Structure 1
Amino acid sequence: MSTLEEHVDVGVPVDKAWESLHRVENYPRFVEGVRAARTEAGGRAHLDVEAGGRAREFDAEVSDHGDERVMEWHTSGAPELAGSFSLQPIDRNHTRVQARLEYDPGTIRETFGGPKGFAQANAIERLVRSDLEHFKEYVEQER
């Protein structure tokens, strides 16, 4: 398994960032490749994704640690992916959003295609960093 961690600082209070992160239906606005997303019963989310020219549907189980401002998730089928978002207040009006993604590079390549090895790791890193920047734009516009 490979692990990727990235973060972005956003210009909103931690409560606002936490609330925005939980609006799964808005993920297509800031997560590359997500065409549609919805919350389902029992702490689950359903996402329609297009990546590498391939359309896929994913179900994920989501758990919150609200007091700690940590949201963990993992897919409930193939491909096996897991991750978390943790939010830390910087001050009253700024929050650090930390994203962590755990994945098997071979599984990602089989599922979505793309390069091997280091090139693939760089591509995933760029994608996560871009999604965090898009989240920053999204949440700061929603003020």
Structure 2
Amino acid sequence: MSKVQESIDVDVPLHTAYNQWTQFEEFPRFMEGVKEVRQLDDRHNHWRTSIAGVDREFDTEIVDQLPDERVAWRTVGGDVKQMGVVTFQPLDEGHTRVRLAMNVEPEGMVEKAADMLGMLDRRVRGDLRRFKGFVESRGEETGAWRGRVSPG
């Protein structure tokens, strides 16, 4: 299993960064290779991705979500195996640090080779940069979900 950790500082208040991240169906607007995310309920999302010519569909479950602090998830079922957490730290009233940590199990030779070449790290860094551009250019979130999802 590979571990990826990246962070970025965004020039928006904490609640704006957090609120935008909870809008999972907007992810294709800034995540490379993500074709669609459908939110099924408060805990579950269905993903369609196309990365390096490999199309996948899988479901994720939110396992811990605390407003303005973190969103943690894991995949459920299927052949995609990953888990992760994104955390939000206020730097001051108008700036927030977004940290993303993921554990990913590459499948097949293409994904394993890409992982060995650092492509996953670069993709996550790029996704965070695009998130920064997306949320800063808008200056406000496209929506918000402020509910609490407790572990277990």
Distance 1:97 1:134 in 2: 12
Worse-superposed segment, 130-139 or 41-50: 41-50
Report the RMSD for the aligned CA atoms in angstroms: 1.8
Q: Provide the residue aligned with 2:33 in structure 1.
A: 33
Contact 1:85 1:99 in 2 (8 A): yes
How far did 1:142 drift?
Answer: 1.7
- Distance in 1 between the 2:19 and 2:82 partners? 23
User: Unaligned 5+ residue runs, structure 2?
Assistant: 140-152
Q: TM-score, normalised by structure 1?
A: 0.88
Partner amino acid for 1:46?
A: H
Number of the residue aligned with 1:14: 14
Contact 2:15 2:68 in 1 (8 A): no
Give the counterpart letter for 1:69 in structure 2: E
Q: Give distance in 1, aligned partners of 2:121 and 2:49.
A: 18
Provide the identity percentage. 32
Match of 1:98 in 2: 99
2:18/2:68 contact within 8 Å kept: no
TM-score after normalising by structure 2 = 0.83
Structure 1 segments of 4+ aligned residues over 2 angstroms from their partners: 111-114
1:87 aligns with 2:92: no
Contact 1:7–1:132, Cα closer than 8 Å, also in 2:
yes
Tell me the alpha carbon deviations over residues 63-108 of structure 1, each in whole angstroms, 9 at most, x when there is no partner: 343256110011102221001100000000000000001023xxx1
Higher helix share: 1
Distance 1:112 1:84, change over 3 A: farther
CA distance in 2, matches of 1:3, 1:19: 25
